Amino acid sequence: MDNESILNNIKSDIQSPNPDAIIIGAGFSGLYQLHSLRNLGLSVKVIEAGSGVGGTWFWNRYPGARCDSESFTYSYTFSKDLFEEWEWSERYPGYAEVVKYLNHVADKFSLKKDILFDKRVISAHYNENINKWQVKTDSLEEFECKYLITAVGCLSSKNIPNFDGLDSFLGESYHTGDWPNEEVDFSDKRVGQIGTGSTGIQSAPEIAEKAKHLTIFQRSANFSVPASNHPLSSEFKKYIKENFEEIKNTIQSNTNGHFFKFSEQKIFDTSEEEREKIFENAWLNGGLGFRACFNDIAFDKKANDLASDFIKRKIRKIVKDPQKAKILTDIDHAFASKRPPIDTNYFETFNKDNVSLVDLKLSPIESITPQGVKTKNKEYELDILVYATGFDAMTGPLLNIDIRGRQNLKLKDVWSEGPKTFLGIQVSGFPNLFTITGPGSPSVLCNMIVPIEQHVEWINDCISYMEKNNIDHVEATKGSMDYWTKHVNDVANETLFIHAKKSWYYGANIPGKPRGFMPYAGGMARYKAICNYVANQNYLGFKFSNSDKEETFVPSKISVDILIKDLMTKKNNLNKKE
């Protein structure tokens, strides 16, 4: 055991039942936040609903569940040693390998002893008189802490549409985000799958391999690009081990946290023949990098139309039945304006004799019946029903907890017209509450591990500053929160995301949910520069308990040049103020 681990063990043993900090969730964010806060010398507890570490990956065990980020970039970079000792087996890791990795991390840093498993936080109320968060779990245990950090993930609150007769189905039914640990036996079964987002596109080919028949219910057709997944070669594994710094620097300075770089070429500067060649190579290479093969696909609708057209031609070529191909290519949004899926044999699956496709646009689902699914035109008899119907994204996991700030202020009331945050990190009226990858931060638009590490480190710096300066609490000012919330929507309006206003990015997949673009679309590099700038300006836009200053952060007044310069010249480490 190394010195750090011994120290952590000692700290843990002397912890009081009411720690300095509570973290909700033991996925990527919660584990790193626990490790980081412990290193500040704080006592910390993590409360986790699952019986193991993994967060989103603990629950999303459906057939075909696989990460869309390349494995070597979906790794923590805070520890070179950890990075170099872990070996991924494939280009895109399956859920089981990700869970194995997180268990390895938890064991390496002795994290599990500070995690309370099988407990779901149901409420967290701030008590102003004692400057403590009072946290209650579903087993009715109560804790108090100074700092409360939510590490609940963005896509962890499952969405099962409220169909008529939902509970009447006599067969087995599963949501992909709450998949049982035991293997589901599809053999000789008639299976129905509702949903063709990233998840449904991953699960359908796997289910079709095993089921007697698979009926895919599609409401909206979707783009998808081949993942081109493959085992990593020993040369590439060697490259990963020997190039930690380069990999870290690239993913942390890129706009979306991935390793691929956007091409400098514009679509309309290339001949048709050249363009086709570039698309073809990008298609063969596969993965999320397809959209980066030209630098204007994500910004210029006309350029995007050409990329969309290329993908639709590919779908028509793969899918032999013209009727199915027509339904699959009737796509109503710009490529990558909804979360762009990547797949392994998704469109090929429709060539199998045991797979049928139902176009819900023509014949919507009317109800779930004891036998299966009834659409306007027909009743489909099923043995197993798979809901690949997504999540109450970003706000759902937070609003599922009864969170109350000053004067009993309810988070759900502050967010009644859509989420409001400052930087996605804090909400005015909720002192010492930090929301890792909260709405208003880049999160889901990136390779998640990058925004997670950035938030954890920013929060750690802020708490470290407070502890060293005997500060009781920190809180985003209302003005800063209002400015930032508007800024998040203004930035989204400049992008192609507005061509998919029905997406979960806008909250549109949940009936009654307020509409507004939830993640920050200004890019990870810019966002990180803003966060560093804020911290370096004495946490501009936040109010500390030891100061009457209440300055408002106004994003439009800060030029990107200043931000980038600031990023280059100053370190985001407030300890230097001592």
CB of 85 to ligand NA7, least distance (A): 27
| Residues β-bridged to residue 370 | none
Between 388 and 466, CB nearer to ligand NA7? 388
CB of 64 to ligand NA7, least distance (A): 11
Between 60 and 254, CB nearer to ligand NA7? 60
Which residue, among 338, 314, 527, 502, has the nearest Cα to 438 in the 3D structure? 527
CB of 70 to ligand NA7, least distance (A): 14
8 A C-beta contact, residue 431 and residue 475: yes
Between 79 and 375, CB nearer to ligand NA7? 375
CB of 160 to ligand NA7, least distance (A): 9
Which residue, among 217, 226, 239, 374, has the nearest Cα to 290 in the 3D structure? 226
- Give SS3 for 568: helix
CB of 448 to ligand NA7, least distance (A): 8
CB of 159 to ligand NA7, least distance (A): 7
b/e sequence 279-310, b meaning 16+ C-beta within 10 Å: beebbeebbbbbbbbbbbbbebeebbebbbeb
CB of 361 to ligand NA7, least distance (A): 9
Cα 506 from chain centroid? 14
Cα 502 from chain centroid? 18
Between 43 and 193, CB nearer to ligand NA7? 193
Between 152 and 388, CB nearer to ligand NA7? 388
Between 191 and 365, CB nearer to ligand NA7? 365
8 A C-beta contact, residue 189 and residue 300: no
Place of tokens 């009737």: 330
Between 49 and 462, CB nearer to ligand NA7? 49
Between 149 and 368, CB nearer to ligand NA7? 368
| Residues β-bridged to residue 127 | 132
8 A C-beta contact, residue 357 and residue 209: no
CB of 199 to ligand NA7, least distance (A): 3
CB of 203 to ligand NA7, least distance (A): 9
Sheet containing strand 213-218, edge to edge, reads 172-175, 384-387, 190-194, 213-218, 355-359
- Give SS3 for 135: strand
* Residue at shortest CB range from ligand NA7: 197
Between 179 and 458, CB nearer to ligand NA7? 179
Residue type, 445: L
Distance CA 474, CA 133 (A): 13
Which residue, among 308, 309, 328, has the nearest Cα to 318 in the 3D structure? 328
Between 198 and 426, CB nearer to ligand NA7? 198
What lies within 8 Å, CB to CB, of 271 at 6+ separation is none
CB of 366 to ligand NA7, least distance (A): 11
As a residue count, the chain comes to 578
CB of 340 to ligand NA7, least distance (A): 9
CB of 412 to ligand NA7, least distance (A): 22
Residue ranges that bind ligand NA7, judged by CB under 6 A = 155, 161, 194-200, 219-220, 339, 360, 365, 388-391, 504, 509
Which residue, among 271, 267, 261, 343, has the nearest Cα to 300 in the 3D structure? 267
CB of 152 to ligand NA7, least distance (A): 15
Q: What number of H helices and E strands is found in the chain?
A: 18, 21
CB of 74 to ligand NA7, least distance (A): 12
CB of 391 to ligand NA7, least distance (A): 6
Sheet containing strand 132-137, edge to edge, reads 142-145, 132-137, 121-127, 402-404
Tokens coding 76:
């923590």
Q: How many CB atoms lie within 10 A of CB 113?
A: 11
Which residue, among 447, 344, 346, 270, has the nearest Cα to 279 in the 3D structure? 270
Helix (H) or strand (E) holding 403: strand 402-404
Between 161 and 171, CB nearer to ligand NA7? 161
Which residue, among 529, 424, 527, has the nearest Cα to 476 in the 3D structure? 424
Between 49 and 365, CB nearer to ligand NA7? 365
Query: Would you list the DSSP string of 136-194?
Result: EETT--EEEESEEEE---SS-SB-----BTGGG--SEEEEGGG--SSPP--BT-EEEEE
Between 111 and 201, CB nearer to ligand NA7? 201
Between 197 and 429, CB nearer to ligand NA7? 197
Distance CA 268, CA 34 (A): 49
Between 428 and 447, CB nearer to ligand NA7? 447
